[in-house]
């Protein structure tokens, strides 16, 4: 086996050497492709195929990567891949000239070429270009792999996304869809009167979510900063400032583990709307998801890993207490003390920590017994106050807050509140979070005095929501892992 690998490496080194020699030869003869600065392409491959009836017999030019080549004496075929797909070209010595044909024969798979010629259909019915000029625009000095998909190569695919995009058309389709999803979200929100804004990534106090931040040092001020873990607190300051409807789509950073649904940097969309509550956020979420699916996929039925999810029907709405009762049989309306909650946890083998209060234990029950069942679009409402430090209490039951999480496929897809706008209550919640931090909860929030000052100025009743854009893209592109919808996912260094 080692001997075979050694031979393969020698063969590869020889092939790379030949490519270098071809480049040196071109450069010596004044034909250095790297000196070319532009090429005027009139069409993409898909345009030519889609508009063949109009373009047949016309002269077109396109540019792309040569993916295959068949040399047959005085005439050859090659296949050129560009942004929109690929197209065959017929290259004949008599059409491009003897010297040009010799140069064409020396071109390699992976080279980037400009191609000019007449649109025609071959005898076998394939739409092609009869080349009159072939120009080498960039020499590929590395060998493209013959096959670059399947489980064995996922690690290399993520590390070398540029090769992945060249070799796997379905990967390119996923990222084109991702771009359309984000564009469709913007169109929808802009039409609803929302204003897109940008807020700082480097912050002194990373708040707005339960997560450990990344820390960095700013030399010019000789101060430590954190990378934001959420968009919430600056956006709420803008609501105080009277902007009424704001949203941001941006990267946030959380210093936690990697798995199929988590990457340390990911795309979050948060929006805040003055004069509405979490019910308004549910209506908005339902409409937004339907709009995006219809625009991007042409249907409101999503199939993910063989499971159908229907966005066309009204989304289910259920309280967290009722959901836990439905799937575990435990009714937290009947549990009034921490001792009773701990006893229920022991009976149902739900592990909790000493610092956990009754509401924390309810949430642990939810995670243990309920989440996996929430496959169809579902709003889980009215969370315990202990896990919701920035949310308004329910006036009729202050142990719970006006919050919902939106679930699909057993995943949390969004988190929304009737936002807390009472600065005195907010200060008390921050104090409780500081106590949690002192007891060892590294994800607890810290007091943000400037944010409290903003609330003192006065914030209107407001609904707010955070959407995980990457998970939305996973569902809408049928991608098994978050890395499949991130062009450049975080990877461990190869030398580690």
What string of DSSP letters covers 129-152?
EEEEEEEEEE---SPPPS---SGG
Give the pairing of strands 245-253 and 265-274: antiparallel
- Nearest C-alpha neighbor of 421 from the set 363, 373, 463, 478: 463
Query: Is 73 contained in some domain?
Result: yes
Q: Are residues 131 and 214 in the same domain?
A: no
Residue 201's pLDDT is what?
97
Arithmetic mean of pLDDT over the chain: 94
Q: Are residues 193 and 262 in the same domain?
A: yes
Average pLDDT (164-183) is: 96
Q: Are residues 247 and 300 in the same domain?
A: yes
Query: Is 24 contained in some domain?
Result: yes
Query: Is 387 contained in some domain?
Result: yes
Q: Where are the beta strands (DSSP E) in 73-214?
A: 75-82, 85-92, 112-121, 127-138, 195-196, 202-203
Residue 445's pLDDT is what?
77
Name every residue whose Cβ is closer than 8 Å to that of residue 181 and which is 6 or more positions away in sequence.
292, 296, 469, 472, 473, 476
Q: How far apart are CA 164 and CA 170, in angstroms?
A: 10
- In this structure, is the dihedral angle defined by the CA atoms of residues 336, 337, 341 and 343, taken in order, positive or negative? negative
Q: Is the pLDDT of residue 110 over 50?
A: yes
Q: What is the CATH number of the domain that holds 428?
A: 3.30.930.10
Q: Are residues 210 and 311 in the same domain?
A: yes
How do residues 441-464 score in pLDDT, each as one tens digit? 777 778 899 999 999 999 999 999
Residue 5's pLDDT is what?
67
The helix/strand/coil state of 6 is helix
Structure token pair of residue 335 = 């549990």
Q: Is the pLDDT of residue 16 over 60?
A: yes
Q: How far apart are CA 486 and CA 40, in angstroms?
A: 31
Residue 67's pLDDT is what?
97
Spell out the alpha helix ranges (H) of 370-481: 423-438, 449-457, 469-477
Residue pair 145/167 in contact by the 8 Å Cβ criterion: yes
How do residues 364-423 score in pLDDT, each as one tens digit? 999 999 999 999 999 999 999 988 877 899 999 999 999 999 999 999 999 999 999 999
Counting runs of H as helices and runs of E as strands, what totals does the chain give?
16, 20
Burial of 261 (0-12, 13-18, 19+ CB in 10 A): middle
Give the count of domains, the chain. Answer: 2
Query: Is 331 contained in some domain?
Result: no
pLDDT exceeding 90 applies to what percent of the chain? 85
Q: How far apart are CA 84 and CA 166, in angstroms?
A: 12
Query: Is 305 contained in some domain?
Result: yes
Q: How far apart are CA 59 and CA 186, in angstroms?
A: 39
Give the pairing of strands 85-92 and 127-138: parallel
- In this structure, is the dihedral angle defined by the CA atoms of residues 122, 126, 127 and 131, taken in order, positive or negative? negative
Average pLDDT (431-440) is: 84
Query: Is 469 contained in some domain?
Result: yes
How do residues 239-283 score in pLDDT, each as one tens digit? 999 999 999 999 999 999 899 889 999 999 999 999 999 999 999
Q: Is the pLDDT of residue 178 over 70?
A: yes
Query: Is 368 contained in some domain?
Result: no
* Owning domain of residue 304: 167-315+376-485
How far are the Cα atoms of 199, 437, 470, 471, 491 from residue 266, in angstroms, in the given order?
Answer: 16, 25, 7, 10, 14
Q: How far apart are CA 304 and CA 389, in angstroms?
A: 33
Residue 185's pLDDT is what?
98
Q: What is the CATH number of the domain that holds 95?
A: 2.40.50.140
Comparison of pLDDT for 442 and 127, the residue scoring more: 127
Name every residue whose Cβ is closer than 8 Å to that of residue 317 and which is 6 or more positions away in sequence.
282, 378, 379, 381, 404
Q: Are residues 188 and 311 in the same domain?
A: yes
Comparison of pLDDT for 145 and 407, the residue scoring more: 407
Average pLDDT (170-185) is: 97
Place of tokens 């990567």: 65
- Nearest C-alpha neighbor of 375 from the set 404, 403, 411, 405: 411
- Nearest C-alpha neighbor of 18 from the set 146, 87, 127, 111: 111
Q: Are residues 284 and 430 in the same domain?
A: yes
Query: Is 216 contained in some domain?
Result: yes
Q: Is the pLDDT of residue 102 over 50?
A: yes
Residue 169's pLDDT is what?
93
Residue pair 296/180 in contact by the 8 Å Cβ criterion: yes
Q: How confident is residue 2, by pLDDT bands cut at 50, 70 and 90?
A: low
- In this structure, is the dihedral angle defined by the CA atoms of residues 218, 224, 228 and 232, taken in order, positive or negative? negative
Residue 151's pLDDT is what?
46
Q: How far apart are CA 326 and CA 345, in angstroms?
A: 16
The helix/strand/coil state of 217 is strand
Q: Are residues 11 and 75 in the same domain?
A: yes
How do residues 149-164 score in pLDDT, each as one tens digit? 654 567 888 999 999 9
Q: Are residues 125 and 196 in the same domain?
A: no
Q: Are residues 283 and 398 in the same domain?
A: yes
Q: Are residues 10 and 116 in the same domain?
A: yes
Q: Are residues 263 and 380 in the same domain?
A: yes
Q: Are residues 210 and 295 in the same domain?
A: yes
């Amino acid at each position: 086996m080692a001997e075979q690998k050694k031979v393969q490496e020698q063969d590869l080194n020889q092939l790379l050497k030949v490519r270098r020699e071809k480049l040196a030869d071109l450069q010596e003869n004044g034909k250095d492709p790297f000196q070319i600065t532009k090429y005027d392409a009139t069409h993409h491959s898909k345009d030519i195929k889609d508009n063949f009836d109009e373009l047949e017999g016309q002269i077109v030019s396109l540019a792309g990567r040569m993916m295959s080549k068949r040399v047959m004496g005085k005439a050859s075929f090659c296949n050129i891949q560009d942004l929109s797909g690929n197209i065959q070209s017929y290259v004949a010595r008599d059409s491009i000239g003897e010297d040009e044909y010799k140069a064409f024969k020396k071109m390699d798979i992976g080279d980037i070429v400009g191609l000019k010629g007449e649109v025609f259909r071959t005898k076998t019915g394939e739409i092609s270009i009869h080349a009159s000029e072939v120009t080498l625009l960039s020499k590929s000095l590395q060998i493209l792999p013959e096959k670059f998909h399947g489980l064995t190569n996922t690690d290399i695919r993520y590390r070398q996304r540029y090769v992945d995009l060249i070799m796997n058309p379905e990967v390119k389709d996923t990222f084109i869809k991702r771009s359309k999803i984000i564009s469709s979200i913007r169109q929808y929100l802009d039409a609803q009167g929302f204003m897109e804004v940008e807020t700082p990534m480097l912050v002194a106090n990373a708040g707005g979510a339960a997560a450990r931040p990344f820390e960095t040092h700013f030399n010019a001020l000789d101060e430590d900063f954190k990378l934001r873990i959420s968009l919430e607190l600056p956006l709420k300051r803008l609501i105080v400032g009277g902007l009424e409807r704001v949203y941001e789509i941006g990267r946030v950073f959380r210093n936690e583990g990697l798995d199929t649904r988590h990457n340390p940097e990911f795309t979050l969309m948060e929006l805040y709307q003055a004069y509405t509550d979490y019910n308004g956020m549910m209506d908005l979420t339902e409409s937004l998801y339907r709009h995006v699916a219809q625009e991007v996929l042409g249907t409101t039925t999503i199939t993910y890993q063989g499971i159908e999810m229907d966005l066309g029907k009204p989304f289910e709405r259920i309280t967290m207490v009722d959901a836990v009762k439905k799937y575990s049989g435990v009714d937290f309306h009947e549990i009034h003390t921490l001792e009773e909650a701990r006893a229920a946890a022991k009976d149902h083998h739900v592990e909790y920590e000493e610092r956990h209060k009754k509401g924390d234990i309810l949430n642990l029950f939810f995670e243990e017994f309920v989440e996996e069942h929430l496959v169809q679009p579902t709003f889980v409402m009215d969370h315990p106050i202990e896990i919701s430090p920035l949310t308004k209490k329910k006036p009729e039951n202050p142990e719970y807050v006006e919050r919902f999480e939106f679930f699909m496929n057993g995943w949390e897809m969004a988190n929304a509140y009737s936002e807390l706008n009472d600065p005195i209550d907010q200060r008390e919640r921050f104090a409780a979070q500081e106590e949690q931090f002192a007891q060892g909860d590294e994800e607890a929030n810290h007091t943000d005095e400037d944010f409290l000052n903003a609330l003192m100025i006065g914030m209107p009743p407001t609904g707010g929501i955070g959407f995980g854009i990457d998970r939305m893209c996973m569902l809408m592109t049928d991608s098994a892992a978050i890395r499949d919808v991130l062009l450049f996912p975080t990877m461990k260094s190869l030398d580690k």
